[in-house]
Amino acid sequence: MNSSDGRQYMYFSNRGNTIYEKIDQRLIKKTQTLGSSELSAIVYCSGQTLEGFKEHLEKLGAVIKYELPFMCACAVEISSNNLENMARSEHVKYISDDVNISTLLNIATQGVGADIVNKTGYTGKGIGIAVLDTGVYPHPDLVMPRSRIVAFKDFINKKRSAYDDNGHGTFVAGVAAGNGYSSTGQYTGVAPMADLIAIKVMNGKGQGSSSDILAGMQWVIDNRKRFNIRVMSLSLGSEAVGNAYSDPLAVAVGRVWDMGITVVAAAGNSGPKSGTITTPGVSEKIITVGAVDDKRTVDIKDDTIAEFSSRGPVGIRGQKPDIVAPGVDIISLNTDKSYVSGTRPLPLRQQYRKMSGTSVSTPIVAGGVAVLLEKNPDLPPDHVKKLIMDSGRSLSADIYEQGRGLIDIKNLIGI
């Protein structure tokens, strides 16, 4: 159909709306707004495997960006003119938009009991934490006296050696697993001996696409045994559209969870309005983390839920977040954003800086999970989540603000 300005618009009015129901509303709006154009999408296979699916999509005019066997889907580029024809295929279950994702930026180890746990010998040693973010800078607190960046994968610029042209990923990694080398132990992460697997899925502006993030998750699944990846930390998100059963990130983290990796994701920074949890935090399976303002004191009596921290519910009554952790004015690792991958890093004038957000709260919980798994390596994700939530200390806030309360890592470990 042509508009008055000559542009073509696509309308999905198939009998019974079966085609319409197989296409993400966001994609439909794009075709109506942009007319004939190239679209990025995540296409779910209606079968149990991807056998022959790639070839089928290519025959329908799609260009394959990533194969995602862990969630039986492919990330593709396709003309909007071919979208309806793709939806007609019996081999296609659902077509979702490849949405833009942002880092959720808006060490409180004593307030959550991590310092005491570390002193008793539990430091996350041998446990791999996958951080999907903007990369990681080889900060002394991560590479001295030995490098704990055991793997680095770059889906943005395809570089082979660790770097971070934004700084967000390095900060997050430090909260989870910095060892305090540059501060003689003053600024130490929750699991200071854990191994880091850094997956760069966000660019220098802290932005990325769901397809790159999904490809990062596929890489983690493929390499989980090699690096003993037991925890995935996601300090990123996007507005949830639709439901957790069709949203690609929510579906994906559920699959990662089912494969034995405990996924910890940020609730988002869209509070105090209710119903603002971001994806993938909307997934009912994973651990979704909100933020606390601890007023920079160890005593939790003055702690309050950070105003920016996203609130539940998810859907009608879905209880999110699951747990909260400190997320205001947290101190962690600084980054040389101009550092060139593979070269020798120069000394930083300032080794640390402050940030706020559920981005910061999330790796505190991820580090707590690593410490728990060091003590009990056979725990499956469902059991880990139960123990995390059972450790929570109520801050006398609504359940859709605090979940089960402030994480208590000392209680979690049983000290």
Active site residues: 133, 168, 359
Closest C-alpha to 267, from 365, 199, 410: 365
Phi, psi of 292 (to 5 degrees): -115, 140
Which are the contacts of 212, defined by CB distance < 8 A and separation ≥ 6?
155, 156, 201, 202
Q: What is the spatial distance between Cα 98 and Cα 201, in angstroms, rounded to a whole number?
A: 14
Q: Is the dihedral of CA 141, 145, 151, 153 positive or negative?
A: positive
Report the DSSP beta bridge partners of residue 2: 8
Q: Rounded distance, CA 49 to CA 47, Å? A: 6
CB neighbours of residue 293 within 10 Å: 18
- Closest C-alpha among 281, 284, 255 to residue 270: 281
- The residues near 172 (Cβ < 8 Å, ≥ 6 apart) are 131, 133, 233, 235, 332, 359, 360, 362, 363
Strands (E) across 351-411 are located at: 352-355
CA distance 395 to 401: 10
DSSP alpha helices (H): ranges in 89-209?
Answer: 114-119, 140-143, 168-177
Q: What are the structure tokens assigned to 41, written together?
A: 């999408």
- Please give the full DSSP string across 174-190, using - where no structure is assigned: HHHH---GGGTTSS--S
Task: Tell me if residue 116 falls in helix, strand or coil.
Answer: helix
Question: If you search the block for the tokens 């971001």, which residue do you land on?
Answer: 278
